[in-house]
């Protein structure tokens, strides 16, 4: 062969090698990051699904941690209530037997309570107890809107049917006044509701679901009942989670999650549902920044606009004003009344 032919062959080989190297690099770049394999342990370790709450983290906040509270009951601030007079005390069994089959009126929770003859406290009727007075109530507003005329009429019918079954006499409030109260409460809720969301976007390599779960678990997130969702539990069992982390549910349920390439996840906070003492926004910001650092991601809003520290400071200041307004109107964030109104 001539020197020219050898030169062309050599050039072709080099081009082919360059293409192969570039393809290999692209495949490696686009392959989702996988979780680190655990190293052998000589002693048992605490599982990642059992987060520990560092009490010291709350010592300098100036806010008390949430305390256990009784089950939410009817409250004139948020419910329209009809008193029910009885000719004689009724057993809890009799009250329960006459209860309506559904506990909702339209989109609003419906509840019947009894005044316990022994404790003199209002409670949900219980077998083995006796009640000398009852009351029925329906919530005035929630995130579905205000109680309307049709729902109030349904409340009257449902309560009257219950009273007919037990021989009670109801005393209903004025519909117009209650519907007007419902609209005012709904307007207040609309003006003071806040559900925050950060989006963490991958800068370069995508993430596998198991990689996200491993990194989030290091910050106290645990799996929830919903696929593709993890939460930071509240300090008290039974309260709404402090934070939620979510990604595509179908990827979480894939036969081989290691082949799923995720390029974003969301962090969310339902402000009125979480007690201020949990430091929810501070923990949300810390979690977002930690994940962004460790997973090579960028924190943005829903419109893909980056959120620098200054923007987060503005959000924090606005939240302080919101917390103060909610507390001033007896709907402190995380309280039973706030959880009911903003549900």
Report pLDDT for 259. 78
- How does strand 108-116 pair with strand 130-139? antiparallel
Question: Does residue 283 lie within any of the structural domains?
Answer: yes
Within-domain flag for 50: no
177 class by beta-carbon count within 10 Å (0-12 exposed, 13-18 middle, 19+ buried): exposed
Tokens standing for residue 184: 């005012």
Asked, for residue 210, whether it belongs to a domain, the answer is yes
Do 206 and 140 fall into the same domain?
no
0.95 cut: is pTM over it? no
Per-residue pLDDT, 45 = 35
Give the per-residue pLDDT at 66: 57
Q: What is the pLDDT of residues 158-198, one digit of tens each?
A: 999 999 999 999 999 999 999 999 999 999 999 999 999 99
Q: Which residue has the higher pLDDT, 5 or 225?
A: 225
Q: 44-48, 128-132, 157-161, 322-326: which range is least confident on average?
A: 44-48
Tell me whether residue 17 is in a domain.
no
With cut-offs at 50, 70 and 90, classify the pLDDT of residue 54. Answer: very low
| The 3-state secondary structure of 140-155, one letter per residue | CEECCEECCHHHHHHH
End residue of a domain, out of 159, 190, 221: 190
Q: 206 and 185, same structural domain?
A: no
Residue 202 placed within a domain: yes
If asked whether residues 149 and 245 sit together in one domain, one would say no
Segment 1-13 mean pLDDT: 61
Do residue 60 and residue 208 come from a single domain? yes
Calculate the average pLDDT of the chain: 87
- Mark whether 174 and 222 lie in a shared domain: no
Q: Which strands sit side by side in the sheet containing 264-270, from one edge to the other?
A: 222-223, 229-232, 243-246, 264-270, 195-202, 297-300
Verify that 149 and 241 share a domain, yes or no: no
Q: pLDDT-based confidence at 49, cuts 50/70/90?
A: very low
Note whether residue 242 is domain-resident.
yes
Scan for tokens 């994940």, then name that residue. Answer: 291
In a domain, 19, yes or no: no
Q: Which regions of the chain does DSSP assign to beta strands (E)?
A: 79-91, 104-105, 108-116, 122-123, 130-139, 141-142, 145-146, 169-171, 195-202, 222-223, 229-232, 243-246, 264-270, 297-300
Same domain, 302 and 244: yes
At residue 331, the pLDDT reads 98
Based on the fold, state whether residues 113 and 247 are members of the same structural domain.
Answer: no
Residue 99 has pLDDT above 50, yes or no: yes
Structural domain boundaries enclosing 128: 79-190
- Same domain assignment for residues 149 and 60: no
Task: Determine the Cα angle at 329 with ends 326 and 330, to 5°.
Answer: 85
Q: Which of 101, 54, 108, 59 is nearest to 80 (CA)?
A: 108
> Domains in the chain: how many in total?
2
* Mean of pLDDT values over 107-128: 96
For 237-278, what is each residue's pLDDT tens digit?
999 999 999 999 888 888 787 778 999 999 999 999 999 999
DSSP codes, 268-287:
EEEGGGS-GGG-HHHHHHHH
46 pLDDT more than 70: no
- Are 315 and 199 members of one domain? yes
Domain boundary among 190, 222, 245: 190
DSSP string, 88-132: EEEEHHHHHHTS-S-SEETTEEEEEEEEETTT--EE---TT-EEE
Kindly state whether residue 206 falls inside one of the protein's structural domains: yes
- pLDDT-based confidence at 48, cuts 50/70/90? very low
Measuring CA to CA, how many Å separate 142 from each of 112, 136, 164, 241?
18, 18, 29, 19
Same domain, 185 and 207: no
Model pLDDT, residue 5:
57
Query: Within this chain, do residues 138 and 227 fall inside the same structural domain, yes or no?
Result: no
125-139 average pLDDT score = 97
Domain end, chosen from 175, 190, 205, is at 190
Residue 65: predicted pLDDT: 52
Residue 279 sits in a domain of what CATH number? 3.30.1400.10
């Amino acid at each position: 062969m001539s020197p020219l032919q050898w030169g062309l062959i050599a050039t072709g080989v080099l081009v082919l090698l360059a293409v192969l190297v570039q393809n290999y690099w692209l495949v490696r770049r686009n392959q989702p990051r996988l979780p680190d394999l655990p190293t052998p342990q000589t002693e048992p370790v605490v599982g990642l699904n059992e987060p520990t709450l560092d009490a010291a983290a709350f010592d300098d906040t100036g806010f008390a941690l949430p305390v256990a509270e009784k089950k939410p009951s009817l409250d004139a601030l948020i419910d329209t209530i009809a008193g029910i007079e009885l000719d004689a005390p009724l057993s809890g069994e009799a009250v329960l037997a006459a209860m309506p089959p559904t506990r909702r009126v339209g989109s609003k929770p419906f509840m019947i309570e009894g005044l316990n003859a022994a404790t003199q406290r209002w409670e949900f009727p219980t077998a083995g107890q006796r009640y000398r007075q009852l009351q029925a109530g329906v919530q005035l507003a929630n995130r579905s809107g205000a109680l309307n005329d049709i729902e109030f009429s349904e409340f009257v019918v449902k309560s009257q049917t219950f009273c007919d079954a037990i021989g009670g006499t109801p005393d209903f409030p004025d519909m117009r006044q209650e519907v007007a109260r419902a609209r005012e409460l709904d307007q207040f809720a609309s003006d003071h509701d806040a559900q925050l969301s950060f989006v963490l976007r991958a800068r370069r390599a995508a993430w596998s679901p198991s990689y996200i779960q491993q990194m989030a678990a290091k910050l106290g997130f645990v799996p929830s009942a919903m696929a593709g969702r993890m939460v930071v539990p509240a300090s008290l069992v039974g309260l709404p989670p402090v934070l939620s982390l979510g990604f595509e549910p179908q990827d979480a349920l894939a036969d081989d999650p290691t082949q799923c390439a995720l390029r974003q996840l969301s962090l969310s906070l339902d402000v009125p549902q979480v007690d201020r003492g949990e430091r929810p926004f501070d923990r949300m910001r810390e979690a977002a920044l930690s994940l962004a650092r460790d997973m090579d991601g960028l924190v943005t809003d829903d419109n893909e606009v980056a959120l620098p520290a200054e923007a987060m400071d503005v959000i924090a200041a606005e939240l302080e004003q919101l917390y103060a307004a909610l507390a001033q109107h007896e709907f402190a964030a995380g309280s039973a009344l706030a959880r009911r109104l903003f549900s």
